[in-house]
C-alpha cells in the first residue's frame, strides 16, 4: 500500500469514526447546533476523502461508493483481519 493510499484510508477511518460518535451524541442532544455543524462538516470531509481515494485506488466497499467503475475491485483492498488494514492511528 502506498503512503498516500494509507494516509487517505486513515483519514477516512478517523472521519467516519467521528461521524458515528457525533451521530450518537446527536441522538441525545438534537438541539446542539455546534455539534450539528461539526457533524455536517465531517460528513463533507469524509465524502471528499472517500471520493479522492476511490478515484485513485478504486471502491472501498460494494455499497456507498462514489464510483461505479470496477465496482467489485473493492475486494482487492486489505480486509479488516489483514495486518495491512490494521494500521496504528
Q: What is the mean pLDDT of each run of 10 residues along the chain (89 residues)?
A: 87 95 95 96 95 87 57 58 62
For residue 15, count CB atoms less than 10 angstroms from its CB and return exposed for 0-12, middle for 13-18, buried for 19 or more.
Answer: buried
pLDDT score recorded for residue 65: 54
pLDDT score recorded for residue 89: 52
pLDDT score recorded for residue 35: 96
What is the helix (H) or strand (E) element at residue 8, kind and residue range? Answer: helix 3-28
User: Grid coordinates standing for 71?
Assistant: 465496482
pLDDT score recorded for residue 30: 92
Q: Is the dihedral of CA 78, 63, 6, 20 positive or negative?
A: negative
What residue segments make up the domains of the chain, in order of their start? 3-76
User: Grid coordinates standing for 19?
Assistant: 461521524
CA angle 60, 62, 68 (to 5 degrees): 85
pLDDT score recorded for residue 69: 58
User: Grid coordinates standing for 27?
Assistant: 441522538
pLDDT score recorded for residue 63: 59
Amino acid at each position: 500500500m502506498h503512503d498516500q493510499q494509507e494516509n487517505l484510508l486513515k483519514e477516512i477511518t478517523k472521519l467516519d469514526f467521528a461521524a458515528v460518535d457525533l451521530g450518537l451524541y446527536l441522538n441525545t442532544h438534537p438541539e446542539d447546533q455546534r455539534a450539528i455543524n461539526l457533524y455536517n462538516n465531517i460528513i463533507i470531509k469524509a465524502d471528499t476523502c472517500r471520493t479522492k481515494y476511490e478515484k485513485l485506488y478504486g471502491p472501498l466497499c460494494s455499497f456507498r461508493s462514489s464510483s461505479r467503475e470496477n465496482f467489485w475491485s473493492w475486494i482487492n483492498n486489505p480486509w479488516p483481519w489483514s495486518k495491512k488494514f490494521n494500521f496504528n492511528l
